[in-house]
């Protein structure tokens, strides 16, 4: 695997820490800002909304810019967004800083994913994406619990300062190790109209919906895991960083295992991971009052969620092979549509007075819908073979064997 792919994974570690650390900081942020926990939870949705909007917009806006230059600029903006969050005097300013940071994060994900898959052969895409997703996993193992620990012992603003420092490290890595790329010219230059053609394909839309449902199922619960552990399972607030770290350990193991088998068994990985998440969420809803069960199931949920992620990423790149930049942007948007809708639905359930276990049931329902869309996608793939975009896309100059390899990688 090229070292540049690992550098991108390191940068994603900083991005992922910022994206997910609010789950361990909701209570101190809510106390400091004088808002309810569901209102503080909207900061998670704000980041996700910025990701949903920013990924396709920034991917389109930077389509003809050098990818390395784009990555550098976006990391710099992201770091400044963390500084703005660290000094935010009000909830409104903090909310706005989250949106700005998310826009930069989304653009980095979209362009970085395109760079990662461009550096490896078709049959190694899931492994390349596993490295990037691994950055998120490590963020959950180390970054998110560390953010929660800082929030409890040095104030939640210290966590934002720490992420700003991580973004500087990522910026140095990209500058030093990601190769320079020239903007293609002539017939090979990127064309927005051509890349937009992926949205005419049903397989692309099914991949998007499945990814959104999978992400929404997990983060509906994960966003409120801290309060569930303290208010339902009866754990002390000091346990929250430890349990978040266990979720991250499960995520790291899941990413490694899923990344290794997804290239050969893509739909099997999707079925297995999403089904397992459905079961884990349902069992957690039934046993949330047990501290041992809540802790153990948090670990399992991290595994099942991130076991599926490399396959979901690779599936999108396979069905949208002719438009790699927008494929990365679409995957980013899809995950964060789920990350937006999931916490929002969880907040509605909490505000309705149904309690935190009902949030787990909501997540299980979303995951169950993801199983259905996976089945539809598998059926459509068997009926149509490779995505029509792979076969007809303007930017796809691949030979027949390469197309067959892309089709095979989708199985």
- Beta-carbon contacts of 171 under 8 Å, excluding residues fewer than 6 positions away, are 11, 72, 75, 76, 79
State residue 366's pLDDT score.
95
State residue 397's pLDDT score.
39
Please state the length of the chain.
Answer: 411
Run of H or E including 346: helix 324-351
User: Measured between alpha carbons, how far is residue 23 from residues 9, 30, 240, 349 in Å?
Assistant: 22, 12, 10, 17
Architecture of domain 3-409: Up-down Bundle (1.20)
Q: Which residue bears the tokens 């089709």?
A: 407
User: Measured between alpha carbons, how far is residue 333 from residues 169, 286, 387 in Å?
Assistant: 25, 32, 20
Max distance between CA atoms of the chain, in angstroms, equals 64
Give SS3 for 235: coil
State residue 385's pLDDT score.
65
State residue 324's pLDDT score.
63
Give SS3 for 375: helix
d(CA 187, CA 202): 27
> How many CB atoms lie under 10 A from the CB of residue 396?
17
| Structural contact between residues 60 and 192, judged by C-beta atoms closer than 8 angstroms | yes
State residue 407's pLDDT score.
44
- Beta-carbon contacts of 141 under 8 Å, excluding residues fewer than 6 positions away, are 245, 248, 249, 251, 252
CA-based nearest residue to 26, from 358, 364, 346: 346
Which pTM does this prediction carry? Answer: 0.69
Q: Which two structure tokens, joined as six digits, stand for 301?
A: 């949920």
Domain boundaries of the chain, sorted by first residue = 3-409
Q: Is 158 exposed, middle or buried (CB count within 10 Å of its CB: 0-12, 13-18, 19+)? A: middle
State residue 358's pLDDT score.
92
Give SS3 for 119: coil
CA-based nearest residue to 10, from 110, 134, 98: 134
State residue 390's pLDDT score.
47
d(CA 298, CA 295): 5
Q: Which residue bears the tokens 């499945």?
A: 210
Give SS3 for 330: helix
Q: Please list the helix, strand and coil fractions of the chain in percent, rounded to the nearest 5, in that order.
A: 85, 0, 15
| Structural contact between residues 333 and 51, judged by C-beta atoms closer than 8 angstroms | yes
| Residue ranges in the chain whose pLDDT is less than 70 | 122, 125, 133, 136-137, 140, 181-195, 321-325, 385-411
Q: Which two structure tokens, joined as six digits, stand for 179?
A: 């190769």
């Amino acid at each position: 695997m090229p070292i540049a792919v690992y550098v991108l994974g390191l940068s994603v570690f900083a991005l992922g820490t910022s994206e997910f650390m609010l789950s361990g900081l909701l209570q101190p942020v809510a106390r400091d800002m004088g808002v309810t926990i569901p209102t503080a939870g909207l900061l998670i949705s704000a980041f996700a909304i910025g990701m949903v909007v920013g990924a396709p917009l920034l991917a389109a806006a930077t389509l003809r810019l050098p990818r390395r230059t784009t990555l550098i600029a976006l990391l710099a903006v992201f770091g400044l967004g963390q500084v703005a969050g660290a000094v935010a005097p009000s909830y409104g300013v903090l909310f706005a800083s989250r949106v700005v940071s998310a826009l930069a994060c989304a653009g980095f994900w979209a362009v970085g994913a395109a760079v990662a898959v461009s550096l490896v052969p078709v049959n190694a895409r899931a492994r390349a994406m596993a490295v990037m997703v691994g950055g998120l996993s490590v963020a959950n193992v180390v970054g998110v619990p560390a953010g929660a620990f800082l929030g409890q012992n040095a104030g939640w603003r210290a966590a934002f300062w720490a992420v700003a420092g991580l973004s500087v490290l990522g910026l140095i890595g990209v500058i030093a190790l990601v190769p320079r790329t020239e903007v293609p010219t002539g017939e090979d230059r990127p064309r927005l109209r051509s890349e937009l053609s992926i949205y005419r394909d049903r397989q692309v839309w099914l991949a998007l919906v499945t990814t959104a449902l999978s992400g929404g199922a997990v983060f509906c619960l994960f966003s409120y895991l801290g309060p569930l552990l303290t208010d339902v399972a009866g754990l002390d607030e000091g346990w929250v960083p430890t349990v978040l770290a266990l979720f991250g350990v499960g995520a790291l193991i899941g990413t490694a295992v899923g990344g290794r088998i997804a290239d050969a068994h893509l739909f099997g990985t999707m079925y297995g991971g999403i089904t397992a998440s459905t079961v884990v969420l349902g069992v957690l809803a039934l046993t949330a009052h047990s501290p041992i069960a809540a802790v153990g199931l948090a670990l399992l949920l991290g595994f099942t969620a991130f076991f599926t992620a490399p396959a979901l990423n690779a599936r999108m790149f396979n069905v949208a092979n002719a438009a790699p930049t927008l494929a990365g942007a679409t995957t980013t948007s899809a995950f964060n549509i789920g990350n937006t809708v999931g916490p929002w639905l969880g907040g509605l359930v909490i505000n309705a007075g149904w309690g935190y276990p009902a949030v787990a049931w909501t997540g299980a329902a979303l995951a169950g819908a993801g199983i259905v869309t996976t089945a539809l996608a598998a059926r459509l793939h068997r009926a149509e073979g490779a995505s029509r975009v792979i076969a007809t896309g303007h930017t796809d100059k691949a030979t027949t064997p390469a197309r067959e390899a892309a089709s095979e990688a989708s199985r």
